[in-house]
Each structure stands twice: as structure tokens, then as C-alpha cells.
A and B are shown apart, each in its own frame.
Chain A
Amino acid sequence: MTLQALTYLVVGASFALYIAIALRTRAANTGDFYVAGGGVHPIANGMATAADWMSAASFISMAGLIAFLGYDGSVYLMGWTGGYVLLALLLAPYLRKFGKFTVPDFIGDRYDSSTARLVAVLCLIFVSFTYVAGQMRGVGIVFSRFLEVDLGVGLVIGMAIVFFYAVLGGMKGITYTQVAQYCVLITAYTVPAIFIALQVTGMPLPQLAFGATLPGESVTVLEKLDEVVTELGFRAYTDGAKSTLDVFCVTAALMAGTAGLPHVIVRFFTVPKVSDARRSAFWALTFIAVLYTTAPAVGALARLNLHATLQPGPVTEPAGSLTYAERPSWMKTWEATGLLRFEDKNGDGRIQYYGDTNPAFAAQAEAYGWAGNELTVDPDILVLANPEIAQLPDWVIALIAAGGIAAALSTAAGLLLVISSAVSHDLLRRTFAPELTDKQELRAGRLAAAGAILLAGYLGYNPPGFVAQVVAFAFGLAAASLFPALLLGIFSLRMNAAGAISGMLTGLLFTLGYIVAFKGVFMAPLFPNTADAWLLGISPEGIGALGMVLNFAVALTVSALTAPPSPATRALVENLRIPRGAGDAEAH
């Protein structure tokens, strides 16, 4: 069987599985649609949360980013898992006790203010849409590379699948489909990792292969990698380019931002009890850790394999680098997608892949007769190309395609549900059309989900130039706006609407302003995006951490100067601090 037929078979089988599950778990009422009736077992919920959490960015992009960033890539590993700890310790149990459907519900009720609710809805829709567009791009990459269909066709197939089970099944359908998707994606991620770990180091566990000694040599994987990359003028793998303060801030922004992501918070509304929410958080992180501790090994080994392929001989000899004519077939197929590009700058027919931005290496490169780096590798392709680079069997390559699609679809579905509930529940039922019946609200929710899918598909097909940048900044914005408002709402009895709203707006505007000033989202940047120009040397990626500090400071100051919240609000907060007596999540 050809690779393409095999890929169709594996991906098709996974789709059939998702649809079968969706048909068995259709939503009957808004409770099923928003929070799966509140009756999901903590382990199942943990798996679903893990699938929801690990997006196309985690599956497709993260190991590739680490491979090219080295130590600096650690911010994603610590940020995305550490944020989960914040969520589990500071938000999940209390929001579960509160027992409403959505995050704006909590903000609106806690601060007894429809302005606060609307600000939260806006933050939520903005964050969620940038995310969905990223997932759709992931689906598009996988389809166009492995199924060799047009990007548009790939997107329509992906949208149709998500439409089917998100619109029909709501949270109930999504939850059980996500359990299946977790199984698919984790198998697809770990199987090739184990193969490659075994191949390179003789140690099957990627977590241990990461520090293993290479067979027949006296150096470890990381020592060898440092040696190989510095020889080519790249920064050593275990070194970072970012300052310590910047790494600190980016990690903090990613952590608080992840904890403020609405589609993950809402997962904790689906378990029966507060203690189940805590248990479920532990299980979810366990399932997430399987991928996140494998990723650094995948990144390091992929980088090693990539250099071994491109530089089969010694660097010092001209014949040491690979000739373009002899390049392996995986390079040809990725060239067709435009994510891998070769330009023969010195006209010798060989691929020189080296660090041409390193001034200390420039003289050396010139002595070798090199005229600049000739190969551009998009980090997004590394995980997907990894099994081919390592020459693994075809079924492993087919599996990775199914895994990438599972990761993207599971996250997209969770996000779409959050968007649709924000529209049908927070905007319509709670704000503009309170006379809606439960049945009408369910229909509005389905319509909103359908509309959101169409818009997401459009954004995936025509990504506005700034989407890729904005996705990374969605975390900073969530950290600077939603996270402090949620945290203070639970841990401060004194916090009132004026404090929360002014804090959210300060954090949001400061962070957004800083990002726009340096990255220029709709206009030319005002300042050069370099470490010298940054405030305290903090990059736009990390500025959300400072925005969050400002949000806290403003919120606490303003609330201290204005009237305390009503006794009813105080009672609400006192009540959500006590685990006993959590009913099912409900509308009113």
C-alpha cells in the first residue's frame, strides 16, 4: 500500500470513530450542550482536558520551536504546564463550586455588573478566535502535506467534521470525542519518539534518551548537539539568547495566560464535584506531561538528525555538505508546500545550512566559500517530517498525520463551543434577550457554533498577516486581563466592579499598546523590536507579565478607594470558598 493510501485509511478511520462517538452522545438540553450535564468521570475529563489543552501548537509546532530555540524553548514547556498548576490551585475548584456555564457568567455575577460581563465576553472572543485560526492552519498543513489535497479542501473537510460533532453533540459530544482524540494524538506523538530515541541512543524512553550517551561515542545527545551546531555557527543548543529577566517574564505571561484561557477553565464545569475538579486537574496534567516531557527529546533528536542529513561529511571540507540533487524525498515533498526553501547562493549545488547571522562565524564561512545560509526550515514541519527524516515505516508517518489532525480538531471544537456559549448564553440570554427559552437558547448556541466554524475556516484559509503574531500574544493579553479579574474575584472579598474593570482595561491596553508599538499589528512599529529598545529589556512576548502586575495594582488601588461590594456578593464569594454543596452547573 502506498503511503498516501495508508494515510487516508488511518485518518479516515479516526474520523469514523469521532463521528460514531458524536452520534452516541447527542446533547438533549443546554446543560448537555454547555457542560455535558456535569457528570463526566475525573479520568475521562482529564483526558478530554488534555486533548483540549494540547493544540496544534503543542503537537505540531512546539518540539520544532524547541529544536531551533534550544534553552529558550523552555519557556513553552514550563509556561504551558505551569499555567495548569495555577489553574488547578487558584481557579478550578472555586469556579466549579460557583457552578455556572461560562467564564463571563462568573465575572458578571461576581462583580454584579453587565459592563464587566461584556468586557469579559470581548476578551474571550478575541482570545478564542485567534486560537481557532491557528488550529485551522494546523489542519491545513497536515491535509495539504499528507493527503495532498488543496488547502481549501482540507479546511472544508476539517470544518465539516468539527461542525458535525460540536454542533450536534455540544460539550457532551466534544468531551467523549476528545477522549478518543487524546488516545490518537498521544500514540501518534510517542510512537515515533520511541523509535527515534531507540535508533539514535539505544534507549527507548525519550525522557531518558534526552540525556543518554550516544552509542560508540563518549558524548551525550546534548553535548554532541552543542558541538554540531556551534561548528556551523549556530548558538549552542543549551545556551539561550534571551536575558534571564525576559525568560522569567515570558514564562510568567504564558503561565498566567494559559490559566486564563476560557476553553480550558470551562472543562472543570463538567465534573460532578469540587473534589473531582481537583482530581481531574491532576489527571489532566498527567496526560499532558506525557507529551510535554517527550517534546524536548523529540526536539533535540530531530535537530541532530536534521544536521546529520544535511552535513553528512566534515564541515571543513566543501564536499561535506549534502548536494541538492541527492536530497531525500521528504525534502522534496516539503518544498512543494513552501515551508522548506532552498536557494543556492554560492552556486555550488550543495546545501549549506549554517548560522549566517552570527558575526563571529562570518569570516569562517567566507573561508569555506559560503555565501549565506541556503536552507530555510519552518519550525512547524519538524515534528511532521521527523518520522521521514529518521526513515521510519510508513504506518508511523500515517499515524502522525492522524495525530496532528486530532490535536487541532479537539482544541478547535473546545474553542468553538466557548465562543458559541459566549454568544448564545452571555450575550443573548443574560444580556440582550432574557426571554429566550432553554430550547431557543440551545438552537442559538448551535447557530453560533456554526457561524464561528465558518469564520474560523475563512481565517484559516486567508490568515490575516498578523494572526501568527497575535496567537503568541493572546496569552499575554489573557494574562493581563482575565486572569487577575478571576483571581481577585475569588481571593479578595473587597474587590469590586470598579476595581476589576479598571484593572482589566489597564492590563489589556498597556499590553496591547506595548505589543503594537514594537510589532506594529495594523501599522508600522513605532520602535525597533530589539532588546535595547524594550522597557527593562522585556520582549513583547513577555510584557503580559508586567501588564498583569499593573492590572493587580490598579484593581487593588481603585477598589480600596471605592465602595465595597454588596453583602450579597460577599455571601457569594464566601460560599464558593467552601467545597460542600456544589450542585450541577446550571444557568441560573
Chain B
Amino acid sequence: MHDSSHRAYWRANLALIARCLGLWFLASFGGGIVFRDALDAFTVLGVPAGFWFAQQGAIWVFLAVLAYYGWASHRLDQKFDVDDD
């Protein structure tokens, strides 16, 4: 066990999670709820943008977040030599 290396891994992992949650929050609570009215001045694929984020866009962003997390977390595991391959 390398305690200091594990601590560094955990910090890097927390930073990754924070980045992902930031995107998650912006797309749903941000785009779909809090900034909805402002965004509705624009349209996305024919739908007012705030409404589109609430009913379509947030879900696509969630998917992108999980794809990124799957890739980045595995890379992080390899970097700190804690991967499970």
C-alpha cells in the first residue's frame, strides 16, 4: 500500500467527479430550470432552447458526461496504477 499515492489518486478522482457533476448541474438545473427563460430566446432544432434542455438536451449531456467519466476514470486508474485490468 502506498498511502500518499492513494491519497493523490483520491484527490484526482474527486476533481474528476466535480468536473462531471458541474456539467450535469449546468445542463439540467442550469439550462433546463434556472436559465430556462433566458435560453428560450434561442431555438435548438426548432424548440425554444430552455425547453429543449429540459426535455432533450439534459439527457444528451448526461450521456456525454458518463462517456467521458468512463474514459477519464480508467485513464486515471492506469496513471496511479490502481486499475483492475
A residues at B contact (CB < 8 Å): 66, 71, 73-74, 77-78, 81-82, 84-86, 88-90, 93, 207-208, 210-213, 220-222, 238, 244, 247-248, 251-252, 273-275, 278-279, 281-282, 285-286, 289, 292-293, 296, 574, 577-582
Cβ-defined contact, B84 with A579, below 8 A: yes
For A82, what are the chain B residues with a Cβ–Cβ distance below 8 Å? 24, 28, 58, 62
Give the shortest distance, in Å, between B21 (CB) and chain A (any CB): 7
Which residue on chain B has the smallest CB distance to residue A73?
Answer: B55
Instruction: Please provide the 9 A-B residue pairs with the shortest distance between their CB atoms, ordered closest to farther.
Output: A211-B46, A74-B54, A211-B47, A296-B55, A211-B45, A282-B66, A273-B84, A78-B28, A580-B82
- Contact A88-B69, Cβ < 8 Å, known A82-B28, A244-B34, A293-B59: yes
Contact of A286 with B63 in the complex, beta carbons under 8 Å: yes
Which of the four size classes fits the interface of chain B? 35 or more
Give A227 Cβ to nearest chain B Cβ, in Å. 15
Given A74-B54, A78-B28, the answer on whether A278 and B47 have CB atoms closer than 8 Å is no
CA distance A579 to B69 in the complex (A): 14
Partner of B67 from A274, A282, A579 at Cβ < 8 Å: A282
> Contact: A211 with B59, CB < 8 Å?
no
Q: List, in ascending order, chain A residues with CB within 8 A of B29's CB.
A: 248, 251-252
Q: Which of B1-42 contact A (CB under 8 A)?
A: 6, 9-10, 13, 17, 20-21, 24, 28-29, 32-34, 36, 40
Does A581 contact B34, Cβ atoms closer than 8 Å?
no
Interface majority SS on B: helix, strand, loop or mixed?
Answer: helix
Q: Flag if B9 contacts A578 (CB, 8 Å).
A: yes
Q: Are B45 and A210 in contact (CB under 8 A)?
A: yes
| Alpha-carbon gap, A93 to B48, bound state (A) | 37
CB within 8 Å of A: which of B52-85?
A: 52, 54-56, 58-60, 62-63, 65-67, 69-70, 73-74, 77, 82-85
Q: List 30 A-B contacts (CB under 8 A).
A: A71-B51, A74-B55, A77-B55, A78-B32, A78-B58, A81-B59, A82-B24, A82-B58, A85-B24, A88-B69, A89-B24, A211-B45, A221-B46, A238-B48, A238-B51, A244-B36, A248-B34, A251-B28, A274-B84, A275-B77, A281-B70, A285-B62, A286-B63, A289-B60, A293-B56, A293-B59, A577-B6, A578-B82, A579-B77, A580-B82
Task: Check A275 against B59 for contact (C-beta < 8 Å).
Answer: no
Is A220 within 8 A of B46, CB to CB? Answer: yes
- Verify A89–B28 contact, CB threshold 8 A: no
Interface centre among A221, A292, A579 (most CB of B within 10 A): A579
* B interface list, Cβ under 8 A from A: 6, 9-10, 13, 17, 20-21, 24, 28-29, 32-34, 36, 40, 43-48, 51-52, 54-56, 58-60, 62-63, 65-67, 69-70, 73-74, 77, 82-85
Closest to B6 in A: A578
The interface residues of chain B lying within 8 Å CB-to-CB of A84 are 62
Which of chain B's residues have a CB closer than 8 A to the CB of A212?
46
**Which of A81, A211, A275 touches B58 (beta carbons < 8 Å)?**
A81
Residue of B nearest to A207 (CB): B56
Point out the residues of chain A lying under 8 angstroms from B70, CB to CB.
278-279, 281-282
Beta-carbon nearest neighbor of A76 in chain B: B55
Residue of A nearest to B48 (CB): A238
14 new A-B contacts at CB < 8 Å, known A88-B66, A212-B46: A81-B59, A85-B24, A89-B24, A210-B45, A251-B29, A278-B69, A278-B74, A279-B70, A282-B67, A289-B60, A293-B56, A578-B9, A580-B77, A580-B84
Chain A residue with minimal CB distance to B16? A89
- Asked if A222 and B51 make an inter-chain contact with CB atoms under 8 angstroms apart, the answer reads yes
Q: How far is the CA of A398 from the CA of B47 in the complex (A)?
A: 32
Give the distance in Å from the alpha carbon of A247 to the alpha carbon of B58 in the complex: 15
B33 touches A247 (CB 8 A): yes
Task: Select which of B21, B34, B83 is within 8 A of A580 by beta carbon.
Answer: B83
C-alpha spacing A208/B60, complex, angstroms: 13
Once the chains are docked, how many angstroms separate the CA of A122 from the CA of B82?
A: 36
Contacts of A81 in B (CB 8 A): 58-59, 62
